[in-house]
Structure 1
Protein backbone atom coordinates (compact mmCIF):
# COMPACT_ATOMS: atom_id res chain seq x y z
CA UNK A 1 0.00 0.00 0.00
CA UNK A 2 1.54 3.32 -1.01
CA UNK A 3 1.49 6.17 1.49
CA UNK A 4 1.94 9.66 0.15
CA UNK A 5 4.58 11.72 2.05
CA UNK A 6 4.48 15.48 1.75
CA UNK A 7 8.11 16.56 1.47
CA UNK A 8 7.20 19.89 3.12
CA UNK A 9 5.77 18.19 6.19
CA UNK A 10 7.68 19.22 9.35
CA UNK A 11 8.31 15.64 10.49
CA UNK A 12 10.21 14.95 7.29
CA UNK A 13 12.40 18.08 7.41
CA UNK A 14 15.32 16.09 8.85
CA UNK A 15 15.47 13.98 5.74
CA UNK A 16 15.93 16.96 3.51
CA UNK A 17 19.40 17.64 2.16
CA UNK A 18 20.70 21.01 3.44
CA UNK A 19 21.18 23.67 0.82
CA UNK A 20 24.62 23.92 -0.71
CA UNK A 21 26.41 27.12 0.37
CA UNK A 22 29.66 28.62 -0.78
CA UNK A 23 32.44 29.08 1.77
CA UNK A 24 31.81 32.81 1.85
CA UNK A 25 28.08 32.35 2.44
CA UNK A 26 28.70 29.69 5.10
CA UNK A 27 31.12 31.98 6.96
CA UNK A 28 28.69 34.92 6.76
CA UNK A 29 25.88 32.71 8.07
CA UNK A 30 28.13 31.50 10.93
CA UNK A 31 28.99 35.04 11.96
CA UNK A 32 25.37 36.17 11.88
CA UNK A 33 22.28 34.10 11.11
CA UNK A 34 19.38 36.58 10.82
CA UNK A 35 16.77 33.83 10.53
CA UNK A 36 17.71 32.18 13.84
CA UNK A 37 19.16 35.36 15.43
CA UNK A 38 22.48 33.52 16.10
CA UNK A 39 26.00 34.87 16.47
CA UNK A 40 28.74 32.29 16.04
CA UNK A 41 26.14 29.57 16.15
CA UNK A 42 24.50 30.67 19.42
CA UNK A 43 21.61 32.90 20.34
CA UNK A 44 21.98 35.74 22.82
CA UNK A 45 20.30 33.70 25.55
CA UNK A 46 22.66 30.77 24.92
CA UNK A 47 25.72 33.05 25.08
CA UNK A 48 24.45 34.59 28.34
CA UNK A 49 23.97 31.17 29.96
CA UNK A 50 27.38 29.84 28.97
CA UNK A 51 29.03 33.14 29.95
CA UNK A 52 27.48 33.04 33.42
CA UNK A 53 28.47 29.39 33.85
CA UNK A 54 32.15 29.91 32.99
CA UNK A 55 32.35 33.14 35.00
CA UNK A 56 31.15 31.30 38.10
CA UNK A 57 33.29 28.22 37.33
CA UNK A 58 36.57 30.06 36.86
CA UNK A 59 35.77 32.48 39.69
CA UNK A 60 35.35 29.59 42.12
CA UNK A 61 38.48 27.90 40.72
CA UNK A 62 40.57 31.09 41.11
CA UNK A 63 39.28 31.58 44.67
CA UNK A 64 40.19 27.98 45.55
CA UNK A 65 43.73 28.40 44.18
CA UNK A 66 44.12 31.72 46.01
CA UNK A 67 43.03 30.18 49.33
CA UNK A 68 45.38 27.20 48.88
CA UNK A 69 48.27 29.53 48.03
CA UNK A 70 47.53 31.74 51.05
CA UNK A 71 47.48 28.73 53.37
CA UNK A 72 50.75 27.46 51.86
CA UNK A 73 52.49 30.83 52.25
CA UNK A 74 51.57 30.91 55.93
CA UNK A 75 53.89 27.94 56.43
CA UNK A 76 56.89 29.77 54.90
CA UNK A 77 59.21 32.43 56.23
CA UNK A 78 60.52 34.91 53.61
CA UNK A 79 64.01 34.81 55.16
CA UNK A 80 64.32 31.34 56.67
CA UNK A 81 64.08 28.24 54.44
CA UNK A 82 61.68 25.58 55.64
CA UNK A 83 64.07 22.73 54.88
CA UNK A 84 67.61 23.20 56.15
CA UNK A 85 70.92 21.33 56.20
CA UNK A 86 70.29 17.55 56.08
CA UNK A 87 66.64 18.05 55.15
CA UNK A 88 67.42 20.33 52.19
CA UNK A 89 68.47 19.47 48.65
CA UNK A 90 71.66 21.53 49.12
CA UNK A 91 72.81 19.36 52.00
CA UNK A 92 75.54 20.21 54.50
CA UNK A 93 78.65 20.24 52.33
CA UNK A 94 79.28 23.73 50.88
CA UNK A 95 80.86 24.05 47.49
CA UNK A 96 83.62 26.43 46.51
CA UNK A 97 83.28 28.98 43.71
CA UNK A 98 85.74 31.21 41.86
CA UNK A 99 85.64 34.54 40.06
CA UNK A 100 86.05 35.79 37.38
CA UNK A 101 83.97 33.34 35.39
CA UNK A 102 84.39 32.89 31.63
CA UNK A 103 81.98 34.86 29.41
CA UNK A 104 78.38 33.65 29.18
CA UNK A 105 78.83 32.47 25.59
CA UNK A 106 81.39 29.98 26.89
CA UNK A 107 79.70 29.06 30.15
CA UNK A 108 80.92 25.46 30.21
CA UNK A 109 84.56 26.50 30.16
CA UNK A 110 86.67 27.07 33.28
CA UNK A 111 89.69 28.42 31.41
CA UNK A 112 91.04 31.86 32.28
CA UNK A 113 93.19 32.76 29.27
CA UNK A 114 94.59 36.10 28.15
CA UNK A 115 97.69 37.89 26.89
CA UNK A 116 99.33 39.86 29.65
CA UNK A 117 100.61 42.46 27.20
CA UNK A 118 97.19 43.07 25.65
CA UNK A 119 94.91 45.30 27.73
CA UNK A 120 91.83 44.35 25.73
CA UNK A 121 92.48 40.70 26.53
CA UNK A 122 92.68 41.02 30.28
CA UNK A 123 90.03 43.79 30.41
CA UNK A 124 87.37 41.11 29.89
CA UNK A 125 88.44 39.50 33.16
CA UNK A 126 88.99 42.67 35.17
CA UNK A 127 85.59 44.02 34.08
CA UNK A 128 83.99 40.78 35.27
CA UNK A 129 85.70 41.20 38.64
CA UNK A 130 84.61 44.85 38.85
CA UNK A 131 81.01 43.78 38.40
CA UNK A 132 81.27 40.93 40.91
CA UNK A 133 83.00 43.06 43.56
CA UNK A 134 80.76 46.12 43.21
CA UNK A 135 78.59 45.24 46.26
CA UNK A 136 81.77 44.88 48.34
CA UNK A 137 82.99 48.33 47.35
CA UNK A 138 79.67 49.96 48.20
CA UNK A 139 78.30 47.79 51.06
CA UNK A 140 74.62 48.26 51.71
CA UNK A 141 74.01 50.14 48.46
CA UNK A 142 72.03 47.28 46.90
CA UNK A 143 70.18 45.98 49.95
CA UNK A 144 69.76 49.44 51.47
CA UNK A 145 70.91 48.15 54.85
CA UNK A 146 74.37 49.64 55.20
CA UNK A 147 73.62 50.41 58.84
CA UNK A 148 73.65 46.66 59.53
CA UNK A 149 77.37 46.39 58.80
CA UNK A 150 79.62 45.68 61.77
CA UNK A 151 83.43 45.61 62.02
CA UNK A 152 83.92 42.03 63.14
CA UNK A 153 87.04 40.29 64.36
CA UNK A 154 87.96 37.02 66.01
CA UNK A 155 86.28 37.08 69.40
CA UNK A 156 84.09 39.98 68.27
CA UNK A 157 81.12 38.51 66.46
CA UNK A 158 78.36 40.70 65.02
CA UNK A 159 75.41 41.57 67.27
CA UNK A 160 72.00 40.15 66.48
CA UNK A 161 70.65 41.60 63.23
CA UNK A 162 74.02 42.87 61.98
CA UNK A 163 76.51 41.45 59.47
CA UNK A 164 80.28 41.53 59.20
CA UNK A 165 82.06 43.98 56.95
CA UNK A 166 84.38 42.75 54.20
CA UNK A 167 87.49 44.95 54.03
CA UNK A 168 88.41 45.27 50.34
CA UNK A 169 91.59 47.21 51.16
CA UNK A 170 93.05 44.04 52.66
CA UNK A 171 93.04 42.41 49.20
CA UNK A 172 95.97 44.49 47.92
CA UNK A 173 97.57 43.94 45.44
CA UNK A 174 94.36 42.28 44.20
CA UNK A 175 92.45 45.54 43.82
CA UNK A 176 90.75 47.38 40.98
CA UNK A 177 93.32 50.19 40.90
CA UNK A 178 96.00 47.60 40.20
CA UNK A 179 93.92 45.75 37.54
CA UNK A 180 93.95 42.81 39.97
CA UNK A 181 97.54 42.31 38.78
CA UNK A 182 96.40 40.90 35.42
CA UNK A 183 98.60 43.35 33.52
CA UNK A 184 101.64 41.83 35.24
CA UNK A 185 100.69 38.29 34.11
CA UNK A 186 100.21 37.46 37.79
CA UNK A 187 96.40 37.30 38.09
CA UNK A 188 94.26 37.26 41.22
CA UNK A 189 91.39 34.79 41.49
CA UNK A 190 88.72 35.30 44.13
CA UNK A 191 87.27 32.34 46.03
CA UNK A 192 83.94 32.21 47.83
CA UNK A 193 82.24 29.51 49.85
CA UNK A 194 78.69 28.75 48.78
CA UNK A 195 76.07 29.83 51.30
CA UNK A 196 74.16 27.18 53.27
CA UNK A 197 71.64 28.50 55.75
CA UNK A 198 72.49 27.59 59.34
CA UNK A 199 75.70 25.72 58.49
CA UNK A 200 78.36 25.96 61.23
CA UNK A 201 81.94 24.99 60.31
CA UNK A 202 83.87 22.52 62.43
CA UNK A 203 87.38 24.02 62.44
CA UNK A 204 90.79 22.40 62.39
CA UNK A 205 92.09 23.92 65.63
CA UNK A 206 94.57 21.22 66.64
CA UNK A 207 97.79 21.24 64.55
CA UNK A 208 98.36 17.64 65.66
CA UNK A 209 95.06 16.46 64.22
CA UNK A 210 95.18 17.57 60.59
CA UNK A 211 94.19 15.35 57.64
CA UNK A 212 96.98 13.47 55.91
CA UNK A 213 96.07 14.84 52.47
CA UNK A 214 96.29 18.48 53.52
CA UNK A 215 99.02 20.34 51.56
CA UNK A 216 102.26 20.71 53.50
CA UNK A 217 102.41 24.48 53.13
CA UNK A 218 98.92 24.76 54.68
CA UNK A 219 99.94 22.42 57.53
CA UNK A 220 102.95 24.66 58.19
CA UNK A 221 100.71 27.75 58.08
CA UNK A 222 98.31 26.28 60.65
CA UNK A 223 101.20 25.24 62.89
CA UNK A 224 102.63 28.75 62.73
CA UNK A 225 99.18 30.27 63.39
CA UNK A 226 98.74 28.06 66.45
CA UNK A 227 101.89 29.64 67.89
CA UNK A 228 101.61 33.26 66.78
CA UNK A 229 97.83 33.85 66.67
CA UNK A 230 95.91 30.92 68.18
CA UNK A 231 92.75 33.00 68.45
CA UNK A 232 92.48 32.99 64.62
CA UNK A 233 92.31 29.20 64.29
CA UNK A 234 88.54 29.45 63.87
CA UNK A 235 89.04 29.67 60.13
CA UNK A 236 87.90 27.66 57.14
CA UNK A 237 91.30 27.20 55.51
CA UNK A 238 91.93 27.41 51.78
CA UNK A 239 94.56 25.82 49.57
CA UNK A 240 95.25 26.19 45.83
CA UNK A 241 97.73 23.99 44.04
CA UNK A 242 98.41 22.36 40.70
CA UNK A 243 96.17 19.41 40.02
CA UNK A 244 98.87 17.21 38.46
CA UNK A 245 102.65 16.94 38.95
CA UNK A 246 103.34 19.12 35.88
CA UNK A 247 100.88 21.71 37.16
CA UNK A 248 102.61 21.75 40.54
CA UNK A 249 105.83 22.75 38.81
CA UNK A 250 104.24 25.41 36.62
CA UNK A 251 101.89 27.13 39.06
CA UNK A 252 104.61 29.11 40.85
CA UNK A 253 104.28 30.87 44.24
CA UNK A 254 100.75 31.48 45.52
CA UNK A 255 99.69 34.03 48.13
CA UNK A 256 96.35 34.59 49.85
CA UNK A 257 94.70 37.87 50.88
CA UNK A 258 93.63 39.06 53.41
CA UNK A 259 94.27 35.69 55.05
CA UNK A 260 94.44 32.07 54.08
CA UNK A 261 90.80 31.25 54.64
CA UNK A 262 87.34 32.40 55.59
CA UNK A 263 87.07 33.72 59.17
CA UNK A 264 84.60 31.90 61.38
CA UNK A 265 82.80 35.04 62.51
CA UNK A 266 80.99 35.19 59.14
CA UNK A 267 79.16 31.98 60.03
CA UNK A 268 76.50 30.74 60.34
CA UNK A 269 74.83 32.36 57.35
CA UNK A 270 71.29 33.41 58.32
CA UNK A 271 70.22 35.46 55.29
CA UNK A 272 70.52 38.74 57.18
CA UNK A 273 70.02 41.99 55.28
CA UNK A 274 73.27 43.28 53.79
CA UNK A 275 75.21 40.01 54.25
CA UNK A 276 78.20 39.58 51.94
CA UNK A 277 80.12 36.32 51.68
CA UNK A 278 83.76 36.56 52.74
CA UNK A 279 86.27 36.28 49.92
CA UNK A 280 89.83 35.08 49.60
CA UNK A 281 91.98 36.65 46.89
CA UNK A 282 94.44 34.09 45.53
CA UNK A 283 97.44 35.74 43.89
CA UNK A 284 99.38 33.61 41.41
CA UNK A 285 102.68 35.47 41.43
CA UNK A 286 104.70 33.77 38.70
CA UNK A 287 102.74 31.15 36.75
CA UNK A 288 104.59 29.70 33.78
CA UNK A 289 103.41 31.39 30.62
CA UNK A 290 102.27 29.75 27.39
CA UNK A 291 100.94 26.59 29.00
CA UNK A 292 97.63 25.51 30.52
CA UNK A 293 97.87 25.08 34.29
CA UNK A 294 95.16 23.03 35.99
CA UNK A 295 94.41 24.50 39.40
CA UNK A 296 92.45 22.90 42.22
CA UNK A 297 91.40 24.92 45.26
CA UNK A 298 89.93 23.34 48.39
CA UNK A 299 88.17 24.57 51.50
CA UNK A 300 89.25 22.85 54.72
CA UNK A 301 87.05 22.17 57.74
CA UNK A 302 86.24 18.94 59.52
CA UNK A 303 82.71 18.92 58.13
CA UNK A 304 83.72 19.71 54.52
CA UNK A 305 84.20 16.57 52.44
CA UNK A 306 86.20 16.50 49.23
CA UNK A 307 85.35 14.61 46.07
CA UNK A 308 87.27 15.54 42.93
CA UNK A 309 84.83 13.75 40.60
CA UNK A 310 81.80 15.66 41.92
CA UNK A 311 83.77 18.82 42.82
CA UNK A 312 82.54 18.66 46.41
CA UNK A 313 84.36 21.03 48.75
CA UNK A 314 86.66 22.16 45.95
CA UNK A 315 86.76 24.01 42.66
CA UNK A 316 88.76 23.49 39.47
CA UNK A 317 89.84 26.01 36.85
CA UNK A 318 92.63 26.46 34.34
CA UNK A 319 95.08 29.31 33.87
CA UNK A 320 96.79 30.12 30.59
CA UNK A 321 98.76 33.33 30.17
CA UNK A 322 100.49 34.05 26.86
Structure 2
Protein backbone atom coordinates (compact mmCIF):
# COMPACT_ATOMS: atom_id res chain seq x y z
CA UNK A 1 0.00 0.00 0.00
CA UNK A 2 1.45 3.37 -1.06
CA UNK A 3 0.10 6.46 0.66
CA UNK A 4 0.23 10.21 0.52
CA UNK A 5 -1.46 12.46 3.03
CA UNK A 6 -2.37 16.13 2.98
CA UNK A 7 -4.40 18.52 5.08
CA UNK A 8 -6.56 21.14 3.47
CA UNK A 9 -9.13 23.65 4.57
CA UNK A 10 -14.55 23.83 3.30
CA UNK A 11 -17.50 21.93 3.90
CA UNK A 12 -17.62 18.35 2.63
CA UNK A 13 -20.70 16.20 2.87
CA UNK A 14 -20.67 12.43 3.24
CA UNK A 15 -23.18 9.70 3.90
CA UNK A 16 -21.31 8.52 6.99
CA UNK A 17 -20.72 10.65 10.05
CA UNK A 18 -17.12 10.53 11.17
CA UNK A 19 -14.34 8.77 9.28
CA UNK A 20 -15.48 7.90 5.75
CA UNK A 21 -14.12 6.67 2.44
CA UNK A 22 -14.57 7.88 -1.14
CA UNK A 23 -15.73 5.98 -3.16
CA UNK A 24 -18.06 4.56 -0.54
CA UNK A 25 -19.31 1.03 -0.17
CA UNK A 26 -17.83 -2.13 -1.58
CA UNK A 27 -15.70 -1.19 -4.57
CA UNK A 28 -15.53 -3.70 -7.43
CA UNK A 29 -14.14 -2.94 -10.88
CA UNK A 30 -12.25 -4.27 -13.90
CA UNK A 31 -9.41 -1.94 -14.96
CA UNK A 32 -9.89 -3.05 -18.58
CA UNK A 33 -13.58 -2.06 -18.63
CA UNK A 34 -14.24 1.63 -18.04
CA UNK A 35 -17.95 1.05 -17.52
CA UNK A 36 -17.19 -0.88 -14.32
CA UNK A 37 -15.54 2.07 -12.57
CA UNK A 38 -17.37 5.10 -13.97
CA UNK A 39 -19.38 5.49 -10.75
CA UNK A 40 -16.21 5.49 -8.63
CA UNK A 41 -14.56 8.11 -10.83
CA UNK A 42 -17.66 10.30 -10.72
CA UNK A 43 -17.74 10.07 -6.92
CA UNK A 44 -14.07 11.08 -6.59
CA UNK A 45 -14.38 13.93 -9.10
CA UNK A 46 -17.42 15.33 -7.32
CA UNK A 47 -15.71 15.13 -3.94
CA UNK A 48 -12.67 17.05 -5.18
CA UNK A 49 -14.44 19.91 -6.97
CA UNK A 50 -14.21 22.10 -3.89
CA UNK A 51 -10.52 21.31 -3.43
CA UNK A 52 -9.41 21.96 -6.99
CA UNK A 53 -11.39 25.20 -7.21
CA UNK A 54 -10.46 26.94 -3.98
CA UNK A 55 -12.04 30.38 -3.97
CA UNK A 56 -12.32 32.71 -1.02
CA UNK A 57 -12.72 36.40 -0.28
CA UNK A 58 -10.18 38.81 -1.74
CA UNK A 59 -8.22 38.94 1.53
CA UNK A 60 -7.67 35.17 1.58
CA UNK A 61 -4.30 33.68 0.69
CA UNK A 62 -4.44 30.44 -1.36
CA UNK A 63 -1.35 28.38 -0.60
CA UNK A 64 0.16 24.92 -1.00
CA UNK A 65 0.29 23.34 2.45
CA UNK A 66 2.90 20.80 3.55
CA UNK A 67 1.79 17.75 5.60
CA UNK A 68 0.78 18.73 9.11
CA UNK A 69 0.40 22.43 8.30
CA UNK A 70 -2.52 24.19 10.01
CA UNK A 71 -3.88 27.12 7.97
CA UNK A 72 -5.00 30.27 9.72
CA UNK A 73 -8.27 32.12 9.20
CA UNK A 74 -6.97 33.95 6.09
CA UNK A 75 -5.47 30.91 4.34
CA UNK A 76 -6.90 28.16 2.17
CA UNK A 77 -4.87 25.09 1.24
CA UNK A 78 -4.88 23.97 -2.37
CA UNK A 79 -4.65 20.31 -3.23
CA UNK A 80 -1.11 19.22 -4.09
CA UNK A 81 -0.20 16.33 -6.37
CA UNK A 82 -1.43 13.09 -4.83
CA UNK A 83 0.03 10.70 -7.36
CA UNK A 84 -3.46 10.04 -8.71
CA UNK A 85 -5.95 12.50 -10.14
CA UNK A 86 -8.87 12.94 -12.58
CA UNK A 87 -6.50 13.00 -15.55
CA UNK A 88 -5.43 9.41 -14.92
CA UNK A 89 -8.95 8.38 -13.81
CA UNK A 90 -7.67 7.95 -10.25
CA UNK A 91 -5.72 4.87 -11.37
CA UNK A 92 -8.84 2.77 -11.84
CA UNK A 93 -7.51 1.72 -15.23
CA UNK A 94 -4.75 -0.10 -13.29
CA UNK A 95 -4.53 -2.54 -10.38
CA UNK A 96 -3.54 0.35 -8.06
CA UNK A 97 -6.76 2.36 -7.53
CA UNK A 98 -6.92 5.44 -5.34
CA UNK A 99 -9.10 5.68 -2.25
CA UNK A 100 -9.73 8.85 -0.24
CA UNK A 101 -10.25 9.01 3.51
CA UNK A 102 -11.72 12.04 5.21
CA UNK A 103 -13.49 13.00 8.42
CA UNK A 104 -17.01 14.37 8.59
CA UNK A 105 -17.91 15.25 12.15
CA UNK A 106 -18.01 17.92 14.83
CA UNK A 107 -16.18 16.08 17.62
CA UNK A 108 -12.91 17.67 18.73
CA UNK A 109 -10.25 15.13 19.61
CA UNK A 110 -7.28 15.67 21.89
CA UNK A 111 -3.99 14.49 20.28
CA UNK A 112 -1.48 12.39 22.17
CA UNK A 113 1.40 14.39 23.58
CA UNK A 114 3.17 11.61 25.48
CA UNK A 115 4.04 8.10 24.30
CA UNK A 116 2.96 6.77 27.71
CA UNK A 117 -0.63 7.66 26.70
CA UNK A 118 -0.73 5.37 23.67
CA UNK A 119 -3.39 2.64 24.09
CA UNK A 120 -2.58 -1.07 24.12
CA UNK A 121 -4.91 -1.62 21.15
CA UNK A 122 -2.78 0.60 18.91
CA UNK A 123 -0.65 -1.42 16.45
CA UNK A 124 2.98 -1.67 17.55
CA UNK A 125 4.27 -0.32 14.24
CA UNK A 126 2.28 2.87 14.74
CA UNK A 127 3.56 3.18 18.30
CA UNK A 128 7.12 2.90 16.99
CA UNK A 129 6.46 5.63 14.44
CA UNK A 130 5.02 7.98 17.06
CA UNK A 131 7.96 7.23 19.33
CA UNK A 132 10.32 8.48 16.62
CA UNK A 133 8.59 11.86 16.75
CA UNK A 134 8.55 11.83 20.55
CA UNK A 135 12.24 11.13 20.97
CA UNK A 136 13.15 13.78 18.39
CA UNK A 137 11.00 16.36 20.26
CA UNK A 138 8.80 16.96 17.23
CA UNK A 139 5.54 15.31 18.32
CA UNK A 140 2.91 16.67 15.89
CA UNK A 141 -0.43 17.78 17.30
CA UNK A 142 -2.49 15.64 14.95
CA UNK A 143 -4.97 12.80 15.01
CA UNK A 144 -3.33 9.60 13.82
CA UNK A 145 -4.97 7.16 11.42
CA UNK A 146 -4.01 3.54 10.82
CA UNK A 147 -5.23 1.24 8.06
CA UNK A 148 -4.86 -2.51 7.76
CA UNK A 149 -4.65 -4.24 4.43
CA UNK A 150 -4.32 -7.96 5.01
CA UNK A 151 -1.09 -8.29 6.97
CA UNK A 152 0.11 -4.86 5.90
CA UNK A 153 -0.22 -1.65 7.89
CA UNK A 154 0.01 1.94 6.73
CA UNK A 155 -0.06 4.96 9.02
CA UNK A 156 -0.93 8.61 8.65
CA UNK A 157 -1.10 11.75 10.73
CA UNK A 158 -3.48 13.95 8.77
CA UNK A 159 -6.31 15.14 10.97
CA UNK A 160 -5.82 18.53 12.58
CA UNK A 161 -8.06 19.99 15.28
CA UNK A 162 -9.23 23.13 13.55
CA UNK A 163 -12.58 24.48 12.41
CA UNK A 164 -11.67 27.82 10.89
CA UNK A 165 -13.83 29.76 8.38
CA UNK A 166 -13.60 28.12 4.97
CA UNK A 167 -12.13 24.98 6.50
CA UNK A 168 -11.59 22.09 4.11
CA UNK A 169 -11.85 18.65 5.58
CA UNK A 170 -8.49 16.87 5.84
CA UNK A 171 -7.93 14.03 3.40
CA UNK A 172 -5.74 10.97 3.12
CA UNK A 173 -5.06 9.48 -0.29
CA UNK A 174 -4.40 5.74 -0.43
CA UNK A 175 -3.03 4.09 -3.54
CA UNK A 176 -3.80 0.40 -3.13
CA UNK A 177 -1.32 -1.96 -4.77
CA UNK A 178 -3.55 -4.93 -5.66
CA UNK A 179 -1.64 -6.62 -8.47
CA UNK A 180 -1.32 -9.76 -6.33
CA UNK A 181 -4.96 -9.65 -5.22
CA UNK A 182 -6.75 -10.08 -8.56
CA UNK A 183 -10.28 -11.51 -8.27
CA UNK A 184 -9.95 -11.39 -4.48
CA UNK A 185 -12.03 -9.21 -2.18
CA UNK A 186 -9.68 -7.24 0.07
CA UNK A 187 -11.08 -5.86 3.33
CA UNK A 188 -9.49 -2.69 4.67
CA UNK A 189 -10.04 -1.35 8.19
CA UNK A 190 -9.06 2.20 9.15
CA UNK A 191 -9.06 3.72 12.64
CA UNK A 192 -8.42 7.14 14.12
CA UNK A 193 -6.26 7.45 17.24
CA UNK A 194 -6.38 10.19 19.89
CA UNK A 195 -6.99 10.54 23.62
CA UNK A 196 -10.30 9.02 24.67
CA UNK A 197 -11.04 7.25 21.38
CA UNK A 198 -12.30 3.69 21.71
CA UNK A 199 -12.63 2.36 18.17
CA UNK A 200 -14.48 -0.74 19.34
CA UNK A 201 -17.28 1.42 20.77
CA UNK A 202 -17.18 4.51 18.54
CA UNK A 203 -18.12 3.92 14.92
CA UNK A 204 -17.39 7.60 14.19
CA UNK A 205 -13.64 6.99 14.37
CA UNK A 206 -13.39 3.88 12.22
CA UNK A 207 -14.41 2.69 8.77
CA UNK A 208 -14.34 -0.62 6.91
CA UNK A 209 -14.59 -1.16 3.17
CA UNK A 210 -13.70 -3.74 0.54
CA UNK A 211 -12.02 -3.51 -2.85
CA UNK A 212 -12.13 -6.15 -5.58
CA UNK A 213 -10.11 -5.93 -8.80
CA UNK A 214 -11.69 -8.23 -11.36
CA UNK A 215 -9.93 -9.62 -14.39
CA UNK A 216 -10.87 -12.48 -16.70
Residues 158, 132 of structure 1: alpha-carbon distance in 2 compared, 3 angstrom cutoff: closer
- 1:232 is displaced (CA, Å) by 5.2
Larger Rg: 1
Q: What residue number does 2:89 align with?
A: 179
C-alpha contact 1:207 1:226 (8 A) present in aligned 2: yes
Shift, 1:303, TM fit? 3.4
Q: Is 2:79 the counterpart of 1:167?
A: yes
CA 1:298/1:149 → structure 2, altered by over 3 Å: closer, same or farther?
Answer: farther
Match of 2:18 in 1: 95
By how many angstroms is 1:254 displaced?
A: 6.2
What SS is found at the alignment partner of 2:147? Answer: strand
Question: Which TM-score applies when normalising by structure 2?
Answer: 0.76
* Correspondence for 1:312: 204
Is the contact made by 1:254 and 1:285 (CA closer than 8 Å) also made in structure 2? no
1:81-114 deviations in whole A, cap 9, x for unaligned?
xxxxxxxxxxxxx72011113xxxxxxxx20000
Classify the secondary structure of the residue corresponding to 2:37: helix
**Structure 2: distance between partners of 1:114 and 1:155:** 33
Aligned to 2:146: 239
Which residue is equivalent to 1:136? 51
1:123 to 12, 30, 38: 38
SS of the aligned residue for 2:138 comes to helix
> Per-residue deviation at 1:153?
6.2
> 1:121 Cα deviation (Å)?
1.8
Structure 1 residues 124 and 235, CA, compared in 2 at 3 Å: closer, same or farther?
A: same
Of 156, 163, 167, the match for 1:275? 167
The DSSP-based 3-state class of the residue aligned with 1:174 is: coil
Q: Take 1:155 and 1:116, find their aligned partners in 2: how far apart are those partners?
A: 33
**Deviation string, structure 1 residues 275-318 (Cα, Å, up to 9, x no partner):** 2111011221236121222221111111333136x623101111
Is residue 111 from structure 1 mapped to residue 26 from structure 2 by the alignment?
yes
Alignment partner, residue 60 of structure 1? none
RMSD (CA atoms): 2.8
TM-score using structure 1 length: 0.53
Shift of 1:163: 4.5
Q: How does 1:3-152 map to 2 (within 5 A)?
A: 95-101=18-24, 110-140=25-55, 144-145=56-57, 147-149=59-61, 151=63
* Residues 1:146 and 1:294: Cα distance change in structure 2 (over 3 Å): farther
**8 A contact 1:234–1:263 mirrored in 2:** no
Q: Which sections of structure 1, spanning at least 5 residues, go unmatched? A: 1-93, 102-109, 243-247
Query: CA separation in 2, counterparts of 1:123 and 1:113?
Result: 11
Gaps of 5+ in 2: 1-16
- Alpha-carbon offset, residue 127 of structure 1: 2.2
Q: CA deviation at 1:149?
A: 4.4
DSSP-derived class of the 2:111 partner: coil
Aligned pairs (5 A) from 1:264-303: 264=160, 267-270=161-164, 272=165, 274-286=166-178, 288-303=181-196
Relative distance call for 1:164 and 1:232 in structure 2 (3 A) is farther
| Partner Cα distance (2:87, 2:154) in 1 | 19
Q: Is the 8 A contact 2:148 2:154 kept in 1?
A: no
Distance 1:262 1:121 in 2: 31
Give aligned pairs, total.
Answer: 196
Answer yes or no: is the 8 Å Cα contact 1:150–1:165 preserved in 2. Answer: yes
Does residue 262 in structure 1 map to residue 176 in structure 2?
A: no
